[in-house]
């Protein structure tokens, strides 16, 4: 047997097993203490576990913002889920917007903002559809990236068939970004990395962080976009 093929098969089996365990965890109601926040998480909402993409992206963004000598005015957390990223970064901004297409996630984020005493505008939106006009200084999105059909509710937080959601995001984000604003997003080699080539002209892409999982053969990345 070709060893490279065997390694590939073993990695596929490892990922499939880990992914099923991951989906099972997302299907439960849970409580977390993250970044000095107390967070409830409804079933089928992306959970802010220590190994989650949400915390990976949040840490990368925090490192970038700590280097600034003044607070940014407005932050938009798209697809906020529990609200963990935006709520964690509230000390860096004056105005926080948390949005999600899922009404359960909106309620979850609203409750989490309340129990942590954080002021935030929380509302339902399909990406930018209900976002108010005016530039945001920081826009954050931790998108789903698996190129698989969505067959059950829990897969809304993991699957993006054809990369359509991500493409909409990168095409629309320039219209909501302030001239000196920053966009942060996460992605993975489990998604279609060629989609990054479709980032609009005028936006500069920079990789901030990478995390590798050799047993599963996967990687995830934190990226920053700025106006050129």
Going from the C-alpha of 112 to that of each of 31, 38, 64, 84, 205, the distances in angstroms are 11, 7, 24, 8, 32
Quote the pLDDT of residue 4.
35
Q: Residue 79: name the closest of 42, 125, 16, 121 by CA.
A: 125
CATH number at residue 20: 3.40.50.150
pLDDT (tens digit per residue) in 10-22: 445 455 666 666 6
Q: Are 118 and 93 in contact (CB under 8 A)?
A: no
Quote the radius of gyration of the chain (alpha carbons, Å): 17
Cα 11 to Cα 77: distance, rounded to the nearest angstrom: 33
Q: pLDDT at position 6, please?
A: 33
Q: Are 84 and 54 in contact (CB under 8 A)?
A: yes
DSSP state of 171: H
Structural domain harbouring 118: 3-227
State which residues of the chain have pLDDT below 70: 1-24, 70-71
pLDDT of the residue at 15: 56
pLDDT at residue 99, rounded to an integer: 98
Report the number of distinct structural domains present in the chain. 1
Q: Supply the pLDDT for residue 105.
A: 96
């Amino acid at each position: 047997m070709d060893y490279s093929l065997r390694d590939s098969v073993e990695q596929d089996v490892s990922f499939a097993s880990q992914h099923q365990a991951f989906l099972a965890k997302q299907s439960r109601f849970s409580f977390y203490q993250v970044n000095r926040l107390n967070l409830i998480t409804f079933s089928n909402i992306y959970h802010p576990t220590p190994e989650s993409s949400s915390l990976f992206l949040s840490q990368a963004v925090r490192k970038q913002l700590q280097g600034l000598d003044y607070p940014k005015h407005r932050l938009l957390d798209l697809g906020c889920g529990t609200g963990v990223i935006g709520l964690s970064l509230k000390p860096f901004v004056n105005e926080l917007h948390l949005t999600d297409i899922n009404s359960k996630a909106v309620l979850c984020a609203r409750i989490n903002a309340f129990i942590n005493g954080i002021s935030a505008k929380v509302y339902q939106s399909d990406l930018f559809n209900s976002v108010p006009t005016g530039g945001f200084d920081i826009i954050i999105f931790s998108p789903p990236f698996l190129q698989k059909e969505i067959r059950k509710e829990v897969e809304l937080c993991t699957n993006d068939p054809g990369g359509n959601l991500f493409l909409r995001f990168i095409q629309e984000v320039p219209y909501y970004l302030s001239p000196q604003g920053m966009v942060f997003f996460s992605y993975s080699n489990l998604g279609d990395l060629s989609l990054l080539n479709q980032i609009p002209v005028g936006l500069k892409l920079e990789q901030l962080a990478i995390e590798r999982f050799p047993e599963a053969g996967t990687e995830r990345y934190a990226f920053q976009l700025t106006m050129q």
